[in-house]
Amino acid sequence: MAACSTGAITYPTVFGAEFLSMEVNLVTNYSQYVHKGYYVNHGAVNVTNINFCNVTLEYTHPGQNENIKVQVWLPIENWNARLQAIGGGGWQAGLYAPSLMGMTAAIGEGYSAISTDAGLGSAVFPYEWALLSPGNVNLYLLQDLASVSLNDMAIIGKTISAEFYGSFPEYSYFSGCSQGGRQGLMLAQRYPNAFDGIAASAPAINWNNFVFSTLWPSFVMRSLKEYPPACEFDAITEAVIEACDSLDGVADGIIADIDECCFNPTSMVGKTINCSTFDNAPWSISSAAASVIRAAWSGPKKFDNSDIWFGVGKDTSTTTSSIQQGIISTICDLNRTCNGGSFELAEAWIKLFILKNASSDLSNMNHGDFDRAAQLSTQMYDSIIGTNDPDLSAFRNRGGKLISYHGTADGIIPIKGSLHYYDSVTALDPNVHDFFRLFTSPGLGHCFGGNGAYPDGTFDAMRKWVEDGIAPEILNATTVGTVPILVRPLCPYPMKQNYDGVGNHSLGLGFSCK
């Protein structure tokens, strides 16, 4: 094992890249408890008094003027001869708080861990880097986020691990959810030799389409000039779950098959609720709330009523909670007057990359403007960040394995986008199940949360598939933050979860995939 010092570790070679600096620091007695859900695709990990070598590199692609930072964390003791790359979330490629927690947990389990900021720094939203000047998009940084930095990261992680330990990792893996899920599928599509196995959950693929699903409810509210408080939408969602919960034979707060749930939100119009937005004051559900939530379910429509993309599931919490961001945002004052909020993750895309003006006022968009923005989004950026190429033959042929899960109640990225992608891969390769499996989780929110169960063994199932050739038939999952905690076996698409009425459903008994 090399010493943890700049003199003992040399720069890697990455074609097209020029390294600017390297810092090497020994970190001792590092401890952190990483909660379930924050080490994506894994369970909770309690890291105690670990020693590791932190190698931080900065590099650029000459002529592009970026400054990309990569960190490789190398456990001093008990390296398991494996590399795990940790993806990002939202507009961040990695090296932000959740991915750093993931790196911590990874080295605690013996992996050398790596993550990259793709040159974006610590910016939560892309306002700091998206435009070189008004009207001119920084396409190099967008490409770094979309794809280029991912392959660079794989090469750097493997090379630095080999430099430090004296041998290359026996296996290299990638793990991510949301933006990280999109990164994982981009690796499988464009850089099939980068990683042996990929866990890519709730992936933000079809990027140029699904952002319009997140903006559609707000657009409908602006068109109606009515902004119902969050309590109205929450009440409708609760009514949906109550109406359709028992269709599978068990009342557990989870709709097992959302396609079987027929619920008309207009049936709630005029009903009185205790509105949590206004200190549980009596409140009547409006027709506007029914129209807006129906729009969230149906997905964005063109002016001629044809589809732009899919909507979210009926069991989705469309408003903001403590751990989930919702796509319907209203802001209400003490006088009980409400106005539209914003969903900045998506609005930034329209302002900066479509209109190319950070000062754009989206409140003035008409339906024609909305349709044109959706068209331009695909025209200009699908090849860069769409991440929806169904041809995974190169990844399959090199023996790679890919696992994904997606919650039916994901309030940001519609699950139907993942199902559509899997169907497209299947159309090219009917034996897709031999190397790629997508598991659906009824009631699960974005990555984790909601009423549904989170499969914390996703990564380990993928690793077992890669190393032992044992394909996962189910993913065992448990709810996060619910009382009682429910256990569920998740099914690989296109199979669906079925309850036969025998056994304790809270423990996951009596379920099968059909």
**Residue that finishes a domain, picked among 383, 409, 444:** 383
- On whether both 82 and 150 belong to a single domain, the answer is yes
Q: Report if residue 353 sits inside a domain.
A: yes
The mean pLDDT of the chain is 94
Asked if residue 163 and residue 60 are part of one domain, the reply reads yes
Q: Between residues 242 and 484, which one has the greater pLDDT?
A: 242
What confidence score (pLDDT) does residue 343 get? 86
pLDDT > 70? residue 325: no
Please say if the pLDDT value at position 504 is more than 50. yes
> Is there a domain that residue 189 lies in?
no
Q: What is the pTM of this model?
A: 0.96
What's the domain count of the chain?
Answer: 2
Integer Cα distance of 294 and 314 in angstroms: 9
Asked if residue 231 and residue 90 are part of one domain, the reply reads no
Percent of residues, the chain, with pLDDT higher than 90: 85
Contact call for residues 62 and 18 (beta carbons, < 8 A): yes
Burial profile 415-434: b = 16 or more Cβ within 10 angstroms, e = fewer: bbbbbbbbeebbeebeebee
Of the candidates 37, 41, 34, 7, which has an alpha carbon nearest to the alpha carbon of residue 23? 7
Based on the domain organization, do 228 and 376 belong to the same domain?
yes
pLDDT in tens, 256-300: 888 899 999 999 999 999 999 999 999 999 999 999 999 999 999
Residue 110 lies in a domain: yes
Same domain, 229 and 157: no
Q: Does one domain contain both 233 and 351?
A: yes
- The residues facing 83 across adjacent strands are 112, 172
Confidence of residue 96 (pLDDT cuts 50, 70, 90): very high
Q: Do the domain assignments include residue 393?
A: no
Q: What is the pLDDT of residues 427-445, one digit of tens each?
A: 999 999 999 999 999 999 9
Q: Which of 383, 411, 441 is the last residue of a domain?
A: 383
Q: Are strands 136-137 and 131-133 parallel, antiparallel or unpaired?
A: antiparallel
Look at residue 323 and tell me whether its pLDDT is greater than 80: no
pLDDT (tens digit, 9 = 90+) per residue, 218-257? Answer: 999 999 999 999 999 999 999 999 999 988 888 889 998 8
Q: Could you tell me if 76 and 3 lie in one domain?
A: yes
Taking the alpha carbons of 208, 213, 214, 217 in that order, is the dihedral positive or negative?
positive
Residues 140 and 231 in one domain: no
Q: Domain range holding 367? A: 209-383
Please state the φ and ψ torsions of residue 498, each to the nearest 5 degrees.
Answer: -130, 135
**Residues 242 and 370 placed together within one structural domain of the fold:** yes
Domain end (from 138, 169, 200):
169
Q: Are residues 161 and 29 in the same domain?
A: yes
- What are the residue numbers of the active site? 178, 410, 446
Is residue 289 a part of any domain in this protein?
Answer: yes
- Judgement on whether residues 270 and 220 belong to the same structural domain of the protein: yes
